[in-house]
Amino acid sequence: MDMTLLVNEFLITGIIVLLLLLDFMIKDKKEIIGVVFSALMFGMMLFVMFFNRKGILLGGAFVADGIAWFSKIIILAAAFLTGLMSVNTIKVSKKYTAAYYILLACSTLGLMFLVSSKELITLYVGLELATISLYALSAIYKNDDLSLEAGIKYIILGAVSSGILLYGLSLIYGVTRTTYLDGIMNYASTGLINPVFIMALIMTLLGVGFKLSMVPMHVWTPDVYQGAPTPVTAFISVASKAAGFVFALRLFAYMFIRLDYVWVPILSIIAFLTMTIGNLMAIPQKNVKRLLAYSTISQAGYILVGFVGASVIGISSVMFYLLAYTITNIAAFAVVAAFAKSTGSEELDDYAGLAQKEPLLALIFMFALLSLAGIPPLAGFVGKFFLFYAAMQRGYVWLVVAGALNSTVSLYYYLLVLRQMYLTDRKKELPKVVMPLGIKLTLLITMIAIFVLGLMPGPVLDMTTEIAQKLFLK
Amino acid sequence: MDTISMLGLITAALPILAFIIIVAFTKKYRLTSALVSITAVAISFSLSCYMLYQQIIAPGLHSFNIPWMYIGSLELNMGVMINQLTTIMLFVVTLVSMLVQIYSMGYMHDDEGFSKFFSFLSLFTFSMLGIVISNNLMQIYIFWELVGVCSYLLIGFWYTKPEASDAAKKAFIVNRVGDFGFLLGILLLTFRAGTFDFIKVIAFVQSGAIEPGMMTIIALLLFCGAVGKSAQFPLHVWLPDAMEGPTPVSALIHAATMVAAGVFMVARLYAIFSMSQDAMHVIAYIGGFTSIFAATIALVQKDIKRILAFSTLSQLGYMILALGAGGYTAGMFHLTTHAFFKALLFLGAGSVIHAVHTNDIWQTGGLHKKMPITSITMLIATLAIAGIFPLAGFWSKDEILVTLHDSGNTLLYYTAIITAFMTAFYMFRLYIVTFLGEQGHHSEHAHESPLTMTIPLMILAVFSIFAGLVGIPGQEINISKFIFFSESAGSHAESMNMGIAVTSSIVALSGIALAFIVYFFKFIKAESLKKISGPIYTLLENKYYIDEIYMFFIKNVFFVITEALKWFDRNVVDGAVNLVAFLTRWGGNKLRRTTTGSVQTYALVIFSGMIIAIIAFAIYDPEALKLLGRP
Residues 6+ apart with CB under 8 A from B560: none
Minimal Cβ distance to B609: which of A216, A398, A415: A216
Give chain A positions within 8 Å (CB) of B65. none
Q: Of A188, A173, A70, which Cα lies nearest the Cα of A121?
A: A173
Start-to-end Cα distance in chain A: 22
In this complex, is the C-beta atom of B568 within 8 Å of any C-beta atom belonging to chain A? no
- Count CB atoms within 10 A of the CB of residue A434: 10
Give chain B positions within 8 Å (CB) of A362. none
In this complex, is the C-beta atom of B557 within 8 Å of any C-beta atom belonging to chain A? no
pLDDT given at position A3: 77
Based on the number of CB atoms within 10 Å of its own CB, is B525 exposed (0-12), middle (13-18) or buried (19 or more)? exposed
pLDDT given at position B587: 41
Residues 6+ apart with CB under 8 A from B428: B382, B386, B511, B512, B515, B516, B519
pLDDT given at position B499: 77
pLDDT digits (tens, 9 = 90+) for A179-200: 888 888 888 887 666 778 888 8
Minimal Cβ distance to A157: which of B156, B565, B606: B606
Helix (H, G, I), strand (E, B) or coil at B64: strand
pLDDT digits (tens, 9 = 90+) for B393-448: 888 888 888 888 887 788 888 888 888 888 888 888 888 888 887 776 666 677 77
Distance (Å, whole) CA A196 – CA B575:
37
With an 8 Å Cβ cutoff, are B72 and A465 in contact?
yes
Residues 6+ apart with CB under 8 A from B626: A265
pLDDT given at position B586: 40
Tell me what the mean pLDDT of segment A328-350 comes to. 89
Chain A residue with CA closest to B188: the answer is: A392
pLDDT > 70: what percent of chain A? Answer: 99
Chain B residue with CA closest to A390: the answer is: B191
The residue type found at B51 is M
In this complex, is the C-beta atom of B591 within 8 Å of any C-beta atom belonging to chain A? yes
Give chain B positions within 8 Å (CB) of A412. 173
Distance (Å, whole) CA B530 – CA B443:
25
With an 8 Å Cβ cutoff, are B71 and A394 in contact?
no
Beta bridge mates, A55: A64
Give chain A positions within 8 Å (CB) of B156. 422-423
CB-CB contact of A211 with A221 (8 Å):
no
On the question of pLDDT at B1 being above 70, the answer is no
pLDDT digits (tens, 9 = 90+) for B600-623: 777 777 777 777 777 776 666 555
Residues 6+ apart with CB under 8 A from B559: A283
pLDDT given at position A244: 92
Distances (CA, A) of B614 to A170, A187, A193, A347, B238: 17, 21, 15, 40, 47
In this complex, is the C-beta atom of B605 within 8 Å of any C-beta atom belonging to chain A? yes
CA-based nearest distance B565→chain A, Å: 7
Give chain A positions within 8 Å (CB) of B606. 157, 160-161, 164, 206, 216-217, 219
B255 — pLDDT class (breaks 50, 70, 90): confident
> b/e per residue, B52-63, with b = 16+ CB within 10 A?
bebbeeeeeebb
CB-CB contact of A75 with A68 (8 Å):
no
On the question of pLDDT at B359 being above 80, the answer is no
Based on the number of CB atoms within 10 Å of its own CB, is A317 exposed (0-12), middle (13-18) or buried (19 or more)? buried
pLDDT given at position A102: 93
Q: Is-above-0.95 flag for pTM?
A: no
pLDDT given at position A266: 85
Chain B residue with CA closest to A383: the answer is: B71
Q: What is the rounded average pLDDT for all residues in chain B?
A: 78
Chain A residue with CA closest to B76: the answer is: A458
With an 8 Å Cβ cutoff, are B628 and A396 in contact?
yes
Residues 6+ apart with CB under 8 A from B24: none
Rg (CA), chain B: 27
Minimal Cβ distance to B69: which of A198, A260, A461: A461
Distance (Å, whole) CA B125 – CA B121:
6
Q: Of B62, B48, B28, B146, which Cα lies nearest the Cα of B90?
A: B48
In this complex, how many residue pairs, one in chain A and one in chain B, have their CB atoms less than 8 Å apart? 176
Give B 254-273 residues with CB within 8 A of chain A. none
Q: ipTM for the complex?
A: 0.71
pLDDT given at position B5: 83
CA-based nearest distance B614→chain A, Å: 7
Q: What is the rounded average pLDDT for all residues in chain A?
A: 88
Minimal Cβ distance to A422: which of B149, B159, B569: B159
- The angle that helices B114-133 and B30-57 make with each other, rounded to 10 degrees, is 20
Distance (Å, whole) CA B6 – CA A193:
60
Q: Who wins on pLDDT, A185 or A430?
A: A185
On the question of pLDDT at B490 being above 70, the answer is no
pLDDT digits (tens, 9 = 90+) for A231-277: 999 999 999 999 999 999 988 888 888 888 878 888 898 999 999 88
In this complex, is the C-beta atom of B631 within 8 Å of any C-beta atom belonging to chain A? yes
On the question of pLDDT at B595 being above 70, the answer is no
Distances (CA, A) of A248 to A310, A318, A367, A468, B401: 12, 11, 29, 14, 61
Let me know the angle formed at the C-alpha of B368 by B364 and B373, rounded to the nearest 5 degrees. 120
pLDDT digits (tens, 9 = 90+) for B181-216: 888 888 888 888 888 888 888 888 888 888 888 888
pLDDT given at position B629: 56
Q: Who wins on pLDDT, B592 or B283?
A: B283
Based on the number of CB atoms within 10 Å of its own CB, is A35 exposed (0-12), middle (13-18) or buried (19 or more)? middle
Give B 137-156 residues with CB within 8 A of chain A. 138, 141-142, 145-146, 149, 156
On the question of pLDDT at A18 being above 70, the answer is yes
Residues 6+ apart with CB under 8 A from B110: none
Q: Who wins on pLDDT, B94 or B331?
A: B94
On the question of pLDDT at B493 being above 60, the answer is no
CA-based nearest distance B458→chain A, Å: 37
B511 — pLDDT class (breaks 50, 70, 90): confident
Tell me what the mean pLDDT of segment A28-56 comes to. 88
pLDDT digits (tens, 9 = 90+) for B117-140: 888 888 889 989 989 988 888 888
How many CA atoms does the CB half-sphere of B112 hold within 13 Å? 4
Chain A residue with CA closest to B593: the answer is: A145
Give B 57-76 residues with CB within 8 A of chain A. 67-72, 74
pLDDT given at position B631: 42
Distance (Å, whole) CA A311 – CA A315:
6
